[in-house]
A and B are shown apart, each in its own frame.
Chain A
Amino acid sequence: MDDLEFRKRIYAEPKCQDDAVRQAMQEDKHKRKFYDEMGLLEQKIEQALDVPVSEGLQSKIILRQSIQEKSKQPKVSKAYIAIAASIAFVFGMTINHFLANQNSFNVTEMALAHVYHEMQSHGNLDLDLDINTVNAKLAAYGAQFEKEIGHIYSANFCQIKNTRALHLVLAGQHGQINVFIMPKANDATGWDSVSDNKLTTRSSRYQSADLIYVAPKAENLDAVQDSIENKISWRI
């Protein structure tokens, strides 16, 4: 290995220990000297490059990684939150449904009970009202009678469950006909006709109000229903 090549080798790789380099040093002490000098320079370069590293750096690196990991964790539990939310939702719906069912009531039964109760307490009441008095009260339901509806024994507001109804007592062929006019009772059930040994019922459901008829069994309630409802007009 000539001098120039040797120097180039050592400049590029001062710690080179391969056979050719070793042999060259053994044969030529100038080369050995040059190698040692370059070794000293290399030591200085190493020291110069060996800048201090801030002690906290390692912790900072690991901290950043662990924060990154932590911020990813909610993704894992999202499924659990979704399941919990679903359970809560179903639970809420069940409770709601249960309470709604509790609120619902059989409207025909209540009307019947009301009629029986009134028959006992003031069955003989006859106020002989005119149609205008009735219409004044009916206005609260957005309705009015366009024509006479025959004899009117009474027209009183009464309470069916939580609903305020207008209770009309009219004259029928076979006794008194009770008509309840009430705001839409959507949570009520029992709109079908029923009869017991004395009375029979009908119901009509309009857009803004419900009507329930209770009359003696012998009464032709279908005809009564038609006649009344032909005379009524709705403003709402």
Chain B
Amino acid sequence: MIGNFLRKKKTQTQVLVGMKEKQIQYEALVSAYHKDMYRYAYWLTHDQHIAEDIVQETFLRAWKSLDSLLDANAAKSWLITILRRENARRFERKQFDMTEYEEHNIHDDNADTEQNVEQQLLQRKIANLPVEYREPLLLQVVVGFSGDEIAKQLELNKNTVMTRLFRARNMLKEALDSGNSERSANG
């Protein structure tokens, strides 16, 4: 029995060492990806607090199944998968009213320079893009996915993804162009 006990203690030490490695791996993962994950969540939800919640839930789930992450290169898409599922779960839990995008959520420091006016217009337009156009754009710009990776993540074919990216930017460009011409006309 004592032998058993000692043997158990030995494996426990190994477990502790394993735990420490896991902890280090986890903290590296958080450090590397929490900003991208937050921004992605923010542009999905339009709400700072909901986005933070989703990101925290995402990483907590990631911790629980960290052992299943074998390839460090796959970490990002693995996290995005968890995050998207977490966001979907939010809708299952209650009939969620889609939070209206509010400008003051975002930096509002020196509000009136022309650059800021343009940026705010752009942010509003991005927030109002239909989600099927917004999400591929976020995956490309915020997360840095290639067309193929986006297609895989969203389970779409690549042509569909490229068309949606084209339309998303087209809408934003038109909005900016008309915004600029309005300002020139007024100005």
Contact yes or no, A13 B59, CB < 8 A: no
Do A52 and B122 contact each other (CB < 8 Å), given the known contacts A11-B165, A61-B55, A68-B60? Answer: no
Q: CB-CB < 8 A to B176: which residues of A?
A: 41, 44
Select one of B123, B165, B172 contacting A12, CB under 8 A: B165
Do A58 and B34 contact each other (CB < 8 Å), given the known contacts A13-B147, A44-B176, A48-B126? Answer: yes
Do A13 and B38 contact each other (CB < 8 Å), given the known contacts A46-B141, A51-B106, A60-B52? Answer: no
Select one of A41, A44, A49, A53 contacting B34, CB under 8 A: A53
Contact yes or no, A49 B165, CB < 8 A: no
Interface flag for A20 (CB, 8 Å) = no
Contact yes or no, B122 A48, CB < 8 A: yes
Closest CB of chain B to A166's CB: distance in Å?
55
Interface flag for B78 (CB, 8 Å) = no
Select one of A12, A38, A45, A53 contacting B141, CB under 8 A: A45
With both beta carbons as reference points, the residue of chain B lying nearest to A38 in the complex is identified as B169
Interface flag for B80 (CB, 8 Å) = no
Contact yes or no, B106 A57, CB < 8 A: no
Interface flag for A216 (CB, 8 Å) = no
Residues of A in contact with B, size category: 20 to 34
Interface flag for B118 (CB, 8 Å) = yes
Which of B24-32, B69-77, B89-97 lines the interface with chain A? B24-32
With both beta carbons as reference points, the residue of chain B lying nearest to A46 in the complex is identified as B141
Grouping DSSP codes into helix (H, G, I), strand (E, B) and loop, the A interface class, with mixed when no group exceeds half, is helix
Do A53 and B119 contact each other (CB < 8 Å), given the known contacts A12-B162, A41-B176, A61-B59? Answer: no
Select one of B56, B105, B173 contacting A64, CB under 8 A: B56
Contact yes or no, B166 A51, CB < 8 A: no
CA distance A52 to B12 in the complex (A): 42
Contact yes or no, A14 B169, CB < 8 A: yes
Select one of B107, B118, B163 contacting A52, CB under 8 A: B107
Q: CB-CB < 8 A to B84: which residues of A?
A: none
Do A12 and B169 contact each other (CB < 8 Å), given the known contacts A41-B176, A49-B142? Answer: yes
Interface string of B115-155 (1 = CB under 8 A from A): 00011001100100000000001101110000100000000
Closest CB of chain B to A233's CB: distance in Å?
58
CA distance A41 to B141 in the complex (A): 12
Q: CB-CB < 8 A to B60: which residues of A?
A: 61, 64-65, 68
CA distance A41 to B137 in the complex (A): 13
Interface flag for B7 (CB, 8 Å) = no
Select one of A44, A49, A65 contacting B43, CB under 8 A: A49
Select one of A12, A14, A52 contacting B147, CB under 8 A: A12
CA distance A54 to B12 in the complex (A): 37
Interface string of A170-207 (1 = CB under 8 A from B): 00000000000000000000000000000000000000
CA distance A43 to B182 in the complex (A): 22
CA distance A51 to B40 in the complex (A): 10
Contact yes or no, B166 A12, CB < 8 A: yes
CA distance A65 to B55 in the complex (A): 12
Closest CB of chain A to B8's CB: distance in Å?
9
7 example contacts (A-B, Cβ-Cβ < 8 A) are as follows A8-B162, A11-B165, A12-B162, A54-B38, A54-B52, A61-B59, A62-B27
User: Besides the contacts A12-B165, A51-B106, A65-B26, what 19 more A-B pairs have beta carbons closer than 8 Å?
Assistant: A41-B176, A42-B141, A44-B119, A44-B176, A45-B122, A45-B141, A45-B169, A47-B119, A51-B43, A51-B107, A53-B35, A54-B38, A57-B52, A57-B55, A58-B34, A61-B56, A61-B59, A64-B59, A65-B63
Residues of A at under 8 Å CB distance from B? 8, 11-14, 38, 41-42, 44-54, 57-58, 60-62, 64-65, 68, 76
